[in-house]
Amino acid sequence: MIDMCLAIPCTIEKVDGLDAVATVAGVRRAVRLDLVENVRPGDVVLVHSGFAIQKLSQEDAAEMIKTIVELGEKSGW
């Protein structure tokens, strides 16, 4: 069996120091910003295990979400 991790593009709604609130597909999540600098509301970040790990462009985020949806449809999620 192969274990796999998945990071999801999320849009930052609110920033309070290193704590943030992010959304994806209407779901709000608490996110830590320890690993990414200068994150502001409206930015899109890649989130893994509750941590923002990278800022993304809107275009890159849209492409990643499209790919995740396609993979889910093909696998029956």
Question: Tell me, what's the pLDDT at 3?
Answer: 67
pLDDT exceeds cutoff 80 at 2: no
34-71 residue pLDDT tens: 999 999 999 999 999 999 999 999 999 989 888 888 88
List the domains of the chain with CATH numbers: 8-75 (2.30.30.140)
pLDDT, the chain, mean? 91
Contact 44, 56 (CB under 8 A): yes
12-32 residue pLDDT tens: 999 999 999 999 889 999 999
> Which stretches does DSSP call E strand in 1-77?
8-16, 19-24, 27-32, 44-48, 51-56
Contact 10, 17 (CB under 8 A): no
CA nearest neighbour of 52 among 43, 63, 60: 43
pLDDT exceeds cutoff 90 at 75: no
